[in-house]
Amino acid sequence: MLSKMLRMTALFDVYGPLLTQRQQEMCRLYYLNDYSLSEISELHGVSRQAIHDALVRSEQAMEEYENQFGLIRCSEARRRQLGELVAALRGVGESIDKALHALGGGPGGDSDCDLSAARTWLAKAVGAVRSCEKVATSMEAGAGLCLGGDHGIDQKEGGL
């Protein structure tokens, strides 16, 4: 029951404007304001059955819109992908942090490596990873999901 209510609320958030004014009002009262069928029927002066029928038609319409457009499905997939991206980038950041500490803390090794330059590049890499995390997190919060164009990391806060 709760999962159906959550799904209908999500569908209403996305596809509600495509419903008639009457359907929008019924859905708003039932799904968002937690009114019972009886309470809605009293408010509108119609039978419980009429309210039930209007809600069923609204649900069917919103499910059909989702079948056609797939905006919720797309959003959920993007959210999962972005969560995986954030986790992966955090792992990369931790690895680079460890490499940075290893380069800076090792006792005098015989290497042609410029430790100063290595530190600088690794610090920039850590910064880029942090920027990627911020971008992915903000996208996950809802910016441009499914509707936006190709917002690559290189267009945001400096990829490598």
pLDDT in tens, 17-54: 999 999 999 999 999 999 999 999 999 999 999 999 99
CA distances (Å), origin 33, targets 5, 38, 60, 140, 159: 12, 14, 20, 27, 45
Instruction: Mention every residue, 6+ apart, whose C-beta is less than 8 A from residue 68.
Output: none
Structural domain count, the chain: 2
Q: What is the pLDDT of residues 59-106, one digit of tens each?
A: 999 999 999 999 999 888 888 878 877 877 776 777 676 666 556 554
Structural domain containing residue 65: 2-69
The last residue of one of the domains, among 69, 84, 110, is 69
Collect all residues with Cβ–Cβ distance below 8 Å to 77 and sequence separation of at least 6: none
The reply to whether the predicted model has a pTM over 0.85 is: no
Structure tokens at 76: 């959920």
Last residue within a domain, chosen from 35, 69, 103:
69
CB atoms within 10 A of CB 97: 15
Domain boundary among 52, 69, 86: 69
